[in-house]
Structure formats: C-alpha cells, structure tokens
Amino acid sequence: MIFPEWTTANITLYIVLFIAALGAGPVIYFGQAMLGEDKLRSKGKIPARVGMTFLYSVPILALYISARDYVPNASPIQWTVLAVVALHFVKRVSESLFVHRYSKPSGLLPTFLVASLYSTAAFVIGWLNRAPIPAVDVGFILGILFFVIGIAGNFYHHKLLADLRKNSFDYFIPKGGWFEYVVCPHYLFEIITWLGFAMLSRHLAVWLILLFVIGYLTARGLRTLEWYRQNFSSFPKDRKAILPFIL
C-alpha cells in the first residue's frame, strides 16, 4: 500500500475520505428508505441516455486533466492504470448509449452528484498515478485480471437486464448468469472492477474509494432485494442481494 505524506492537510483529507467511505452504505441504505424511490432510480427530466452518457463522460475528462502533464513521459505501469480507468468509463458510456433500455428519465441533481463522485474518483486515481508502484508484481497482474473479470461480468449482466425489456419497459425477475443467485450480480462485478483499480494503483486513497463503492453498491443491492420481495409474490426466497449464498 502506498501511503501519503502525513501532513496536516493530508490527514484532514484522508479522515474525510475515510468517513465518506464508511458512511456511503448507511446513507444510501437509510436515505433510500426516506426518499421512497421507485426501483432506486428517481424520476427526473433529463432523457436517461443523455444523463447517463454525461455522467460517465465527465470522469474521462477528469482523468485526462489529472494526468495530462505526465502522460507524454508515462511509464507502462502508469499507462496501464490510466488505460483501465478510461476503458471502464468508455464501456459505461457505450452501455448507456447502446445496451441499457431505460424506463424513465433521470433526475438532474442525482446526475450531477454521481458525475461529481465518479469524476473525483477518476481524478484522484489519475493524480496519484504520478507516483506508481515501482515495478510490476503479482498484485499488479491480479489487478488486471480482476479488472477484466469485473468489466466482462458487469457487461454480461447488463445485457441480460436489457434483454428483459425486448417487448416492454416493465420490470421482470432477472434470469440467467449469476442472477440465479443474487439480484445484483452487475454490482458485484463492478466492485471487482474497482478492486482491480485498487490493486493496480495501490494508493491508500484508492482503497478507500473501493470501500466507498462496496458500501454504496451493497446498500443498493440490499434495497433492490427488498424491492423484488415486495413486488413479486413468486420471488425465490433463497436469492441474495449481491454475494451468492451469503449477502
């Protein structure tokens, strides 16, 4: 793990990051209950494809800004870190444009909020990447492997969700792949992608971002499971939220 220099400014920054990482799960889980949102995505006025494309494009710009001064002389390790993060967001933009079949428009505030969160994460990874790990090691190779498994599994389950909507924009019980075990396998694979980023970057801040993503997506997964149980009387009782057989 690469630690920052423990100056007063950095200590303050990391305390804030640590609190945000630990707080994400409870805030999403209980906040969702207060908002009473319909299937986790609040209705708004922006066409969903436009909102989501914007939301996932801004982090690519943030990543570029964070790294543009060292990109001309970047080492293969630095290039790898930048490439996987950029690829992840390019994939999400492409899915937003060509795969997902959204049922309703997106809200302006959530779109800006999530765009800011993702952009901050991309910027932090790109910025810290000016001090990468000194050499490729087993953790780095595993990081690439996790990244590939993460985006492939995430895409596969997004496609299964989109295929449910061939004839109607209703909600159905998802089938196939790991949907047989959990309601949000796509979230699990997103977490695996971010685990890949953390193993490639190795900076403490990126591990804290991973913790944030785990809390955020686990809370959304648990809420999604509750939603399915409430809305489908025939919903399989043994299906979990995000981690097969466990959670």
Contacting positions for ligand NAP (CB under 6 A): 39-41, 100-104, 154, 161, 164-165, 171-172, 174, 186-187, 190, 213, 216-217
Minimum Å gap between C-beta 134 and ligand NAP is 29
Torsion of CA 187, 122, 39, 35, to 10 degrees: 130
Question: Is 213:190 a contact under the CB 8 Å cutoff?
Answer: yes
| CB nearer to ligand NAP: pick between 133 and 150 | 150
Q: How many CB atoms lie within 10 A of CB 238?
A: 7
Q: How far is the CB of 130 from ligand NAP (least distance, A)?
A: 24
- In contact, 243 and 182? CB cutoff 8 Å: yes
Q: Considering the complex, state which of residue 92 and residue 203 has its C-beta at the smaller distance from ligand NAP.
A: 92
Amino acid at 233: S
Nearer Cβ to ligand NAP (41/239): 41
Minimum distance between the CB of residue 11 and ligand NAP, rounded to whole angstroms? 26
Tokens of 106: 């997106």
Distances in Å between the Cα of 206 and the Cα atoms of 29, 116, 125, 142 are 23, 16, 7, 16
63 or 133: whose CB is closer to ligand NAP? 63
Q: Shortest Cβ distance from residue 121 to ligand NAP (Å)?
A: 8
